[in-house]
Amino acid sequence: MSQAQLIDGKAYAAKLRGMVAEGVATYSGEVGTVPGLAVVLVGDDPASRVYVANKAKQTVEVGMASFEHRLAADVPQEELLALIHRLNADDAVDGILVQLPLPKPLDEMAIISAIDPDKDVDGLHVVSAGRLASGLPGLVSCTPLGCMMLIRDTLGKDLSGKAAVVIGRSILVGKPVAQLLLAANCTVTMAHSRTANLEEVVRRADIVVAAVGRPEMVKASWIKPGACVIDVGINRVPAAEEGKTKLVGDVDFAEVAEVSGSITPVPGGVGPMTIACLLHNTLQAARMRRGLAQDQRF
């Protein structure tokens, strides 16, 4: 029997989408238009197509405009850059998201760098990373933002003095999560593949964020009793039934839930927060670009 409080990311994401929809209605009353999100998909990777279709559907559901741009896998880099420049200049577009990964030989870094940082709703531009590290207002990448919302919803707004360990140091997840926890006055340790005594390091944490990509790596013996455990990992592994697969996180949910105070499941934890935070970021970008005060409810 699990002891831990289950952190329901699916329910929180639905609540967040509802708040964004209300924010969009207020915005359109103030500005006379709705925020717009442009999503660029290059190639026909089936998983990316599903993500992009979900993003477009949820964008429209909260009352925003959705602009989809589909390009062939062999699109020349200059053509993709020209599209980004057009979207930067288009006032109806408040957020630009380029679905990653891009097919080779496109240069992801060059493409992301071409996005206007004020429209960088994925938060991957170096200017967005710099603003986050410097404590300046800006757009924060969606999955890390989702992690923080779930942590605050579980532990309360004041995280001062808590010991946080982030396992993983990617630009997409680990680093921005660590920055956000630091900005919330946590004492943050970033762990990675070269960390010595990882289990011991993790055992000190009041908050553990696992963003590794290794199925069920984090075990109950690593966890301080009562800790809040956020599992970002999405790993597909063979299921008990032959020929089937299932999704698991980076945390061994069944055993860690016996020790931790709270825990996100996989699926249904951090995952659903990502698109909801993308919509949140698009609304924030629209308000920021027009010099409107940020929505204080978030």
**Looking at the annotation, which residues are catalytic?**
55, 99, 122
Per-residue exposure over 250-284, b if at least 16 CB sit within 10 Å of its own CB, e if not: bbbbebbbebbbbbbbbebbbbbbbbbbbbbbbbb
- Smallest distance from ligand NDP to CB 220, Å: 17
Count Cα atoms within 13 angstroms, Cβ side, for 72.
4
- Please tell me the distance from the alpha carbon of residue 30 to that of residue 25, in angstroms, as a whole number: 9
Amino acid at 27: Y
Among 58, 59, 128, 143, binds ligand NDP (CB under 6 A): 143
- Smallest distance from ligand NDP to CB 173, Å: 4
Positions 223 through 282 that interact with ligand NDP (CB under 6 A): 232-235, 270-271, 274
| Contact (CB, 8 A) for 146 and 62 | no
Stretch that binds ligand NDP, among 14-22, 81-89, 209-217, 222-230 (CB under 6 A): 209-217
Among 212, 218, 256, 279, binds ligand NDP (CB under 6 A): 212
Strand bridging mode 245-248 / 235-238: antiparallel
What does the per-residue mask of binding to ligand NDP show for 59-78, with x meaning CB under 6 A? Answer: --------------------
* 209, β-bridge pairs: 166, 230
Q: Which is nearer to ligand NDP, 175 or 224 (CB)?
A: 175
Cα distances (Å, whole numbers) of residue 183 to 46, 50, 134: 37, 34, 10
- Smallest distance from ligand NDP to CB 242, Å: 24
Stretch that binds ligand NDP, among 91-99, 150-158, 208-216, 284-292 (CB under 6 A): 208-216
Residues in touch with ligand NDP (CB under 6 A): 143, 167-170, 172-174, 191-195, 198, 211-214, 232-235, 270-271, 274
